[in-house]
Amino acid sequence: MIGSPDVVAFTKDDDFGDSYTDPCLLPAEFSVPLFPHAANANPWTKTSYAKFSKDFILISEFSEQVGPQPLLTIPDDPRVCGTFDLNYFSLRIMSVDYQASFVGHPPGCSYPKLNFVEDSKVVLGDSKEGAFAYVHHLTLYDLEARGFVRPFCMAYISADERKIMQQFQQLSSGFSKASESLKSGNRKAFANELEKKLQDLEYTRTVLHKETELQKMNNGCYSTQVIEKANELANVEKSIYEHKDLLRQIMSYPNKKMDTDYVQYEPEKPVETNMVDHTFSSTHSISRDKCVETDNASQQLSYTPQLIKAKSAKCFDKRLKTLEELCDSNFFHQTMDHLNLIEKTFRGDLCFIYTSQIDWALLSKQKISSFLFEEERHGEEEENSRNLYDTDHNPHIALPSLSNLSGEPMSLESYATCVEIGHHKLELESMEGPPESSTSDITQETSEEAVDTETKGSFSSDRSIEALGNISPANPNGFVRRSTNEVCTVTLSEQQGEILPGAAPDKMSPSLGYKLDVYTADMFETENLVQIDTACCIGQDGFIYEEPLPVPVQQCCEDTVVKQEPLSLLQGDPALQVDYIFGESGLPLGPSMGLMLPEESTSVHSEEMARMNIEDVSDCTSYMSTSTSSDRAGSPFTYGSLITVKQKKKAGNSALRFIRQYPFAQQAIFCVLSGQTLVVLGAEEGTVRKLVNALSIFVPNLGKYGETVQPWLTTSFQLTDLQRWKLIGLQRVASPAGSSMLHSLSRYSRYIGILDCDNKTLRCHPYRGTVLGHMADHRTQIKRGSTYYLHVQSMLTQLAAKAFLYTFCHHVHLPINTDDQGSVELRRTNFLLQLGYTEEESKIIQFLSELIKQNFFQWPLKGLSQSVFSFSYTTSVLYKI
């Protein structure tokens, strides 16, 4: 069992802090140069002695031929890993796979049975290597593998132990998705493989049948050859039966999955395809495959029947399938994409991750105004936050465990039920057991299985020993073997003192047995491995248990110097948990609710937080359980041509150049911000596009795909185009077509600002004020585009915040009595003046406010179509350089 608590001790600053020299550890996102003094250069980096330069993801396999071996790393760059010994580390992470993916003969049936086991998630540390890892174990099915299963693991390896610990939930949910995607692909591939095998077998049967008949004819009924053939035939028949059953089992998986209500939100694309695939294959593909493969049949059936029959023989020289072959190629690449995304998400310092997570969480709660200047979030983060959100707002999952924590063994069982029910639902159904009490049922079940397999001693005997071993340490409460998969469950039990220190080695021993069994040839190494296991393999409990309680936010604020990284979302500021967005139910709760109700919600949340602080673990559990159950859905990643922060930062570079180059940049920005369509007119496409790109960071409500910007237009535009696009790059042409374009320019001149990049002139409404002066100072000291972008972003956010305030201050807008239009107008103007805005800046705020209102009305719909086009009758001024 993973209970060894020694890892935290390895990470004291005083031991290794001095030796910090590796500047490569710095996350790419930090452009600030490190404080040269090595000691506490980055006050939050506690580890510095790792042999790899930055975090990476490692996928390893427990190969039945060569043992643990690394398969690939993400990013796939040897420099990342440096001198870090991947082989050694794979050995270590694979050795903690204590789960039992068990294929055996359950009682009452004589053919193998697939178990859909849960993945296990552990945290593992290696003090010598300075590496800490979140390890996610999973098993994939392979018809040719021992027991049909091949254990794999994905590990997120970082030098920062705290990062792993603090981001455990996020990592877990991310990897669960990746794993789910791999497994879905694997099920599909496995089913295909089974179908092919079945066809082989059926063909073999017919061949054998013919041969038998022939021999009967030749040699008579009772000759030895005939009997042999008859036996073979019987074996093939049995084999066919078994394979059919396997196929049925694997096919039935997704349907069962859909039955569980624990999938909290709709599984997205991959699962859908998965579903489709499966339903399709289950209904049609057999027949279709048959048709297709009649041609290929001769090639495939080049096996001799004996070869097929020898399926259970251990064949060490045969080539094992690669991971990509094991999973459907599409799914594999999807998973890789997802893992890359995980790698990107968790790249950098923990502090940075925290900040961006808080950032995202806050933003997602401010959807009512964040659409103005914030880019759309990636699916990943959105879902992470949604998970957090769910757990925040669905106390019915968290609460049982919380209340049970005062906990007696009784409550543990009920808790286990609560946690496990989602996971076991599948198994319960497949086992046809009465679902009244999952724990007892399954315990009984599994032990029965174990006993059964033990007595039968079939081809998967080693597995069964392992399973038995896992159970034999006699979980005192009849604690389920599976629940050990959930690290947090273990944590809980440890909290309650249920599992004694001795429990961990106890739990380790079966895996020792297992490994010995497998590696009888290499005794020494296995021995070694087990020692490491007990020393370094730790569950999350160890960490959390000894983790100092999170310091409440208030204390942080007292210090003028921030000594601690911001609290993570889970422990964080209760204010973060106040929701500023419309209710989940589709009924808008309204943003002002967020404004009005902080007392109430804080009280709830602070209470919750207090509990969290005390029973940190338990909360963790609840988060875990929800996230794992909801994360069953495969990874939902689709890549569109989204406007990303990266692109915007690049645009920041051109924006910086623009404000340095053009003294009237402020006016142009004002034009864009106040909703007047800005037409960038020029003969050369590149210049125009560059300018449009530079100015696009100022466009409010840019849209997910930047649909309010038209970077290059070669025809004349209409009024409706002005309504749709707020920034247009227009080609200047000296032809009849050009004249019509100029005609439309002059015709709609009151609605547009025209930036002529050939003559370097700007014609638009004049701007007077200071706000944009700060935003676009052509003598700015900012050197880098991304820095400038952030500067602009912060100022735009201020504007958006003011617009939000302006929109939702009802004393400004509501008439005091019925015929009160005049005073409303006056109050609105005064309100903005009091905020310190000039008349022109008020126009910006008003425009933003109108956008917010429209967005509010169109809330359920995604995206904001600007159905109304506002303008003002003001004389334009021509600016020249």
Partner 1 sequence: MLRWIMGGRGSQGTIEKSAALCIGEEQPKNCFTELQVLKGHFDIVRFLCVHCSVWVFCVTLFQTGERLVELRGHTQQITAMTTYTFIKGERPHTALITASSDRTLSLWDPDSGNRLQTVSDLHSSVKCLLVLDHLDVWLSGGNELCVWNRDFQLKCKTVHHRDAGITAMVDLPKNCVAASMDKEIMIFKLNLSEAEMSILAIHHLADHQDTIRSLININNELFASGSHIGELILWDTVNWTIQAYEHILWEEPAGDGQSEVRIGQQKQSEMSIQHMYSDGELITAAVGSGLYVYNAVMKSIVAYRKVAHDSDILHTELLDNGRVMSCSEDGSIRIWELQDLPLAAEPASTGFFGMFGTFGRSGKQAGAPTKKLLEVPGLRSLELIGDLIGHSGAVQMFVSFGVKGLVTCSADHLLIVWKDGKRESQLRSLALFQKLEQSGGL
What is the binding site for partner 1 (CB under 8 A)? 582-583, 587-593, 596, 718-720, 723, 744, 747-750, 807-808, 810, 813-814, 821, 824-825, 846, 849-850, 853-854, 856-857, 867-876
Q: CB of residue 732 vs partner 1: minimum separation in angstroms?
A: 20
Give the shortest CB-96-to-partner 1 separation in angstroms: 50
**Which DSSP helix (H) or strand (E) runs through 677?**
strand 677-682
Cα separation, 497 vs 506, in Å, equals 16
Buried b (16+ CB within 10 A) or exposed e, 718-752: eeebbbbbbbbbbbbeeeeeeeebbebbeebeebb
How far apart (Å, rounded) are the C-alpha atoms in residues 118 and 257?
12
DSSP β-bridge partners for residue 753: 678
Nearest distance, CB of residue 800 and partner 1, angstroms: 17
Locate the DSSP E strands across 77-221: 120-126, 131-141, 149-158
CB of 845 to partner 1, least distance (A): 12
User: d(Cα 470, Cα 248) in Å, to the nearest integer?
Assistant: 28
Which amino acid is present at 819? Answer: D
Query: CA 598, CA 692: separation in Å to the nearest integer?
Result: 42
Taking the complex as a whole, the smallest distance from the CB of residue 395 to partner 1 amounts, in Å, to 20
CA distance 448 to 443: 8
As a whole number of angstroms, the distance between CA 251 and CA 264 comes to: 23
Q: Are 353 and 162 in contact (CB under 8 A)?
A: no
Q: How far is the CB of 880 from partner 1 (least distance, A)?
A: 19
Please provide the size of the chain in residues.
881
Q: How far apart are CA 223 and CA 161, in angstroms?
A: 71
Spatial strand order of the sheet with 120-126 comes to 67-74, 56-63, 149-158, 131-141, 120-126, 537-538
Strand order in the sheet with 752-756: 709-713, 727-731, 677-682, 752-756, 761-764, 877-880
- Structural contact between residues 176 and 380, judged by C-beta atoms closer than 8 angstroms: no
Query: Contact at 8 Å (CB) between 3 and 504?
Result: yes
286-300 vs 168-219: helix crossing angle, rounded to 10? 60
Closest CA to 757 of 855, 843, 821, 690: 690
Task: Judge contact between 67 and 519, C-beta under 8 A.
Answer: yes
CB of 864 to partner 1, least distance (A): 14
